[in-house]
């Protein structure tokens, strides 16, 4: 018979000793709620194409996760909601006309290879949705860089045709498959003047989402609304997004000051491509981003520098660099954590340690 423990004996368990009440499921639900404004805008702008891609990606991610956990003889993890987030974010990073079978392939890669191979949620070194998008961008380059025509592109075409002597109809036909960053990249490579992207009417389209691009990245207003929710709920902190966006702005501002004719204004860079989606919803991934506040700032600055390097290097193949920037910095997260780890309470620095 096991003897009873003395009444004055303290039983100490492993940390944490107090719990904030949050859970993985609750956090994932908050992220889903934060993504709903962008999802609603994608339905408004791209209609059934957006619904099709979101449904395919989410369903494939859930099925793949269930099959992987069953094959590994591990407990099902569908209830934590992480597979739903991966499906949503991957769909938001896809062009509206992408074939459904390609979305299925990308979703399977995101869950099976980028997540479950490493052990599942909490063990993956790279953001699964971004890993899936990078895989698709390399495997299906043509389909991943083909964009649906929007009313916005006609405004740019008219502005471009009025600045030159070309016919308006020719200009429209030449730019129907362009995104703002795509136009800027092509102009940079050709050495021609940058497109007129700073017009107030166009900036309104940038903010609301009436631009060519992936289904979930075009509306800055919807993404900022979701980001505000995450910040209020304290699901994320300001460190990575602010460091990321500030670095992009400063980098772009310096380029624009040095050579206004060969670069677009910094606020256009902030509103273009997947920067806001990446800064608030993917770079802040708890598993793949640094733990300390100093580390988060370093991470955000690194993402910003790499993003702008990819966007502005003349010889680069891609006009957008958000996905690759975050994935590259994911690889440096363990080193950043090691370099910026906090001093253990009650210890002294080596140079001040007593013998």
- Residues 62-85 have pLDDT tens digits of 999 999 999 988 888 888 889 999
What are the pLDDT digits (tens) for 250-298? 999 998 888 777 778 888 888 888 899 999 999 999 999 999 999 999 9
d(CA 79, CA 198): 45
pLDDT tens sequence across 303-312: 999 999 988 8
Q: Where along the chain do its domains lie?
A: 24-144, 151-339
Residue, of 183 and 75, whose pLDDT is higher: 75
Mean pLDDT of 105-114: 95
Percent pLDDT > 90 in the chain is 47
Residue 168, pLDDT score = 37
- Statement: the pTM of the whole predicted model exceeds 0.85: no
Measure the CA–CA gap between 82 and 62, rounded to whole angstroms. 9
Q: How far is CA 235 from CA 137, 185, 295, 330, in A?
A: 29, 35, 17, 19
């Amino acid at each position: 018979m096991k003897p009873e423990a003395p009444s004055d004996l303290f039983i100490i368990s492993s940390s944490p000793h107090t719990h904030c009440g949050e859970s993985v499921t609750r956090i994932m639900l908050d992220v889903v709620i934060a993504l709903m404004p962008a999802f609603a805008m994608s339905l408004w702008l791209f209609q059934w194409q957006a619904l099709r891609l979101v449904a395919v990606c989410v369903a494939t991610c859930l099925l793949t996760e269930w099959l992987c956990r069953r094959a590994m003889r591990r407990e099902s993890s569908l209830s934590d909601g992480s597979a739903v987030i991966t499906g949503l974010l991957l769909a938001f990073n896809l062009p509206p006309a992408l074939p459904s079978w390609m979305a299925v392939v990308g979703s399977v890669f995101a869950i099976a290879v980028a997540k479950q191979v490493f052990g599942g949620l909490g063990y993956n070194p790279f953001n699964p949705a971004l890993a899936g998008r990078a895989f698709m961008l390399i495997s299906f380059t043509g389909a991943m860089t083909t964009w649906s025509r929007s009313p916005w592109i006609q405004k740019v075409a008219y502005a471009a045709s009025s600045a030159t002597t070309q016919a308006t109809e020719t200009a429209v036909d030449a730019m129907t498959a362009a995104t703002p960053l795509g136009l800027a990249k092509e102009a940079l490579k050709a050495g021609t003047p940058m497109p007129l992207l700073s017009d107030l009417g166009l900036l309104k389209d940038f903010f609301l989402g009436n631009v060519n691009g992936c289904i979930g990245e075009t509306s800055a207003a919807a993404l900022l609304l979701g980001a505000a929710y995450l910040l209020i709920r304290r699901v994320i902190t300001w460190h990575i997004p602010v460091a990321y966006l500030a670095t992009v702005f400063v980098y772009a501002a310096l380029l624009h000051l040095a050579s206004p004719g060969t670069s677009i204004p910094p606020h256009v860079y902030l509103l273009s491509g997947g920067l806001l989606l990446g800064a608030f919803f993917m770079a802040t991934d708890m598993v793949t981003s640094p733990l300390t506040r100093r580390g988060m700032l370093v991470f955000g600055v690194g993402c910003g520098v790499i993003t702008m390097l990819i966007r502005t290097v003349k010889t680069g193949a891609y006009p957008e660099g958000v996905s690759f920037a975050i994935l590259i910095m994911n690889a440096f997260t363990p080193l950043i954590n090691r370099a910026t780890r906090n001093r253990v309470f009650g210890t002294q620095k080596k140079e001040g340690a007593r013998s």
